[in-house]
Structure 1
Amino acid sequence: MSGAAPIDPRTGRPALNPYGEYTPSLPTAAVFIAIFSLSSLVYLYQILKPKPKRMLWMLVFPICGLIEIIGWAGRLWSHFNVYGDGFMQQICCLTIAPTFMSAGLYMLLGVLIQRIAPHTSILSGKAFKITFLVADILSLVIQAIGGGMAASATTASGTEKGGQIMLGGIAFQLFVMIVYVVYGAIWAHKSRTEIHGTILSIDGGEGITRAVAGMALCSLFIIIRGFYRSVELGDGFKGEIATNEPLFLLDAIPVALAMISLNVLPPIQHLRCLGDNTKPSARRSSKNMIDLGLQNGEAERSGSPTTLVGSGPSKK
């Protein structure tokens, strides 16, 4: 199944299995190709179905899924021939794919900052998106350079050097993601009044909570995966972690769960209630709605029979 070992020109002996002691599992590769294919199709449906279409930049999520599919196809290929190019195909694709998911998360938090409480953020919504996207692109470039070096290396030391550069990109991506989570938590705490008011004041506002829950789950799974990848690449391509297939599920499962979390709690659906509040006039209107929502909430909690003029029926 794995094919005959070619002769290694460096040693004149049969080449060693790049996966170490195992041949990639056919059922595992097939399962994850199916998972990422289905998840990507759901994203495409969720993004392209609404009219008018908004947030088309969320196509970065199915792009992540497509790159995962290519990577797992490399492992499927390697099941039949471990000495083919499938090894480097899976290393490059499965390493860089979540970078696109991170970009989507940075954009989503930037949208929330812009449309709910930009005054409580150190960075404006636009500056936040630019800053974190630049960092994400930088991590992608570093990982791509490392992957290219590892794939084209003709010596074991060259391959390991490429792996170390990839490790630098992964570690930087993990650091940026942790900063993103901390920044988002601080902003949400400082903006809790505005967030609560927005949820109360607009139709479908409760969807904001669901969208944030999906973003939090997605971020958590990406961070878990980032820690695993950092340890794996730090141990080297020939290390005990990289050559242990069951441990590789610590990469596959978190990425799959990160994708699925935003399929189940789709921001493109739950944040549609915010509309476009980025223009000054829209922000003033939104501020009035938030204040009104807070007053409604206070009236409901106090049991006051008073009806606010122009407030309409309170949301249940």
Structure 2
Amino acid sequence: MDKILSYTEHIPAGYVTRARHLTETLQLSVAVPTTITEPYASITSVISSAAAYQSSVYNALSAASNLASSTSLFNEVVAAQATINYYEILREAVTETNAASRASLMTRAAEASEVMFKVVNEYPFYGGNFPSLGGNIALLVVFAVFLSMQVFSGIFFHQYWFLVCWTAGLILEVIGYAGRIWSSQNITNLSAYIMQSVCITVAPCFLMAGIYYIIAQITLIYGEEYSLMKPMRYSQIFIVCDIISIFTQGAGGGMASVQSLQDTGRYIMIGGLAFQVLTMLIFQFLWYHLLFNIYKAYKESGENVFNPEFDFVRRRKLHIPFIIGVSFVVLLIFIRSVYRLAEISEGWSSKATTDEIYFMILEGLMVSLASCVISVLSPGLAYGRGAHLQMTRRKKNEEEFDMDDSFRKRDEL
């Protein structure tokens, strides 16, 4: 055991904990057997093979030059030692003639078998690194605060589609970080890992679903002639793409949590994230094309060229800051999505995956900043409480928003 622990200097804590299981006595899950069915020759053969294999792995471990290789080899050494421990006790029990001593050895063998099963089959997630308890608690609190702000804002300003999308997304963020807090106590907990993996992965898809609706609203507020598509088309196309991303990433995240399906799950997640990134690129092109046309028309002809029906919305002080804020939110979530795509593409043992600082900055910080911006500059503050901008279909090829007539000429909350 001392030799194994001498190699733990740069090994992730989760794998070191796994090695320490070799010295533990675990509660038996089955009754202690009274007979040994395996021949003595087979037992000694297993010990010899495991010892020889462990010796070769030790040599490779001594020469390993990177963390991924060292961790993998260290893991093999621990598994070999667990096997040796079990079979050595079993060999001793086979040759023991004293009934009491034999019974004691059989109990020890059963305990060693439990340890061997735990070491060989129990998989530490997060590359063996425990998630930060304090950091994940902080992010959970932050998202909970923004969630309460979105609920209040959505109900007060009657922005129900945005309310549903961002409430769903932020609830998933809260659940996801609760899963990481749970994992910080036990990184082999499969339920906690699936909980954080699926929820944090798909949450931004819901957030973007709310953003996709905004481009349709801005198109109507200024005029369809500045857009490449009719307002309802934006919602139909991008929300369908979002649903595809949600299901693909969720399914991939769940499969990737099962060790035997990790590679398959990873490829599915890569596909879902790549599709999301492509969707966001197309959205940003359409968004900035719309804003450029609006700006160009304003510079050439002034405010009077825009849809007069929504003049009261455009005159609100927070309307332009809101448009800038939405652009910033999309950029932040796009950066986060590119990071997750790169992270998962590099594999589960890459530095981007196992070093939590990357996750905290490029996932947690990006999404929390986006949530902060859209909570402070919400659609309700930009449009006003009376502007019930709900998409309706009047007749073929014509879409518009319903608006409360009593607020057409008022510029108040």
TM-score with structure 1 setting the length: 0.79
Give distance in 2, aligned partners of 1:264 and 1:222: 17
Distance 1:86 1:111 in 2: 39
Question: Mind listing any 5+ residue stretches in structure 2 that lack a counterpart?
Answer: 1-12, 22-113, 404-413
Cross-structure match for 2:372: 260
Counterpart position of 1:300: none
CA distance in 2, matches of 1:259, 1:42: 10
SS of 1:138's partner is helix
Is structure 2 residue 170 aligned with structure 1 residue 65?
yes
> 1:79 offset after TM fit, Å?
1.0
TM superposition shift of 1:49: 2.1
Alignment of 1:264-303 (within 5 A): 264-272=376-384, 276=389
Q: Which residue of 2 aligns with 1:146?
A: 252
Offset from partner CA, 1:19-69 (integer Å, 9 cap, x none)? 12411111011100000000000111111124xx34444321121111011
Q: Give the Cα–Cα distance (whole angstroms) in 2 for the partners of residues 120 and 218 of structure 1.
A: 22
**Aligned residue in 2 for 1:97:** 203
Mapping of residues 203-218 of structure 1, within 5 Å = 204-218=315-329
User: Which residue number in structure 1 is paired with residue 126 of structure 2?
Assistant: 19
Structure 1, 208-217 or 95-104: larger mean CA deviation: 208-217
Distance 2:164 2:271 in 1: 26
Counterpart amino acid of residue 351 in structure 2:
E
Aligned-pair CA distance for 1:196: 4.0
Amino acid of the structure 1 residue aligned with 2:266: G
Residue 111 of structure 1 is matched in structure 2 by 217
Which residue does 1:168 correspond to in 2?
Answer: 271
Counterpart secondary structure, 1:202: helix
- The 1:109/1:8 distance shift into structure 2, 3 A limit, reads farther
1:45/1:8 CA distance change after superposition, 3 Å: farther
Q: 1:7 to 1:76 in 2, by over 3 A?
A: farther
2:347 to 236, 251, 265: 236
Equivalent position of 2:111 in the other structure: none
Letter in 2 for 1:101: L
Q: Secondary structure at the match of 1:191?
A: helix
Of all paired residues, the percent bearing the same amino acid is 23
**Cα RMSD, aligned residues only:** 3.0
Q: Distance in 2 between matches of 1:113 and 1:179?
A: 16
Output the CA distance in 1 between the equivalents of 2:316 and 2:119. 67
- Unaligned ranges ≥5, structure 1: 287-316
CA contact (8 A) 1:37 1:69 kept: yes
CA radius of gyration, larger in: 2
Aligned residue number for residue 38 of structure 1 = 145
Contact 1:208 1:271 in 2 (8 A): yes
How do residues 73-92 of structure 1 correspond to structure 2 at under 5 angstroms?
A: 73-84=178-189, 85-92=191-198
TM-score, normalised to structure 2's length? 0.61
Match of 1:223 in 2: 334
The 2-side partners of 1:78 and 1:263 are apart by 29
In structure 2, what is the Cα distance between the partners aligned to 1:124 and 1:215?
20
Quote the Cα distance in structure 2 between the aligned partners of 1:133 and 1:196.
31
* Cα distance change on mapping 1:282 and 1:107 into 2, 3 Å: closer
Which letter maps to 2:249? Answer: Q
Answer whether contact 1:114 1:126 (CA < 8 A) is retained.
Answer: no
CA 1:164/1:254 → structure 2, altered by over 3 Å: closer, same or farther? same
CA distances 1:119-178 after superposition (whole Å, capped 9, x unpaired) = 222210001110111111111111122123223x351xx112101211111111111112
